[in-house]
Amino acid sequence: MLSKKTKYGLKALTYIVRNASDVPVQVGAIAKGEQIPQKFLESILLTLRKAGILGSKKGKYGGYYLRKQPSEILMTEVMRVLEGPIAMVPCVSLNFYEKCHDCPDEVSCSVHKLMIQVRDSTLNVFKNTTLADLSSN
């Protein structure tokens, strides 16, 4: 299941793309426009800022803005920041690899083989989709 965090994060990002102007987009506006609990959204945008995807400005007329062009923000990056590993098991994760201890041998593991295929096919979608694609109608 996609977490609410990720879902809200994606919606917020597209909202920012669609409402970008010379002043940053405020959390309150996004929360209202996308039906997201504001305090929850605050923490999500903070995560995206710390990951370098968003920039922010404090104080009056402050808010959030994109650090890169929408067409340069890949879903691989966004999903890893918000949702964590793209792979369904740590032992096939490219960015969050972990050996699984209940598995004597990865190569012969049936689950391993299947999950590599799932990872690759999902990865293929994410690396060919940018925030610009998401934001277009």
Q: Does 86 bind DNA (CB under 7 A)?
A: no
- Dihedral sign of CA atoms 10, 136, 53, 16 in order: negative
Cα gap 38→27, rounded to integer Å: 7
Retrieve residue 108's tokens: 């012969």
Q: Does 23 bind a copy of itself (CB under 8 A)?
A: no
Which one of 75, 76, 80, 82 is in contact with a copy of itself (CB under 8 A)? Answer: 75
Q: Least Å distance between CB 93 and DNA?
A: 15
Cα gap 117→54, rounded to integer Å: 32
Retrieve residue 82's tokens: 């918000």
Q: Which does 53 bind (CB under 5 to 8 A by kind): a copy of itself, DNA, none?
A: none
DSSP state of 91: G
Q: Least Å distance between CB 65 and DNA?
A: 10
Where do contacts with DNA occur on this chain (CB under 7 A)?
1, 3-5, 8, 24, 26-28, 37, 39-40, 42-43, 45-46, 49-50, 56-64
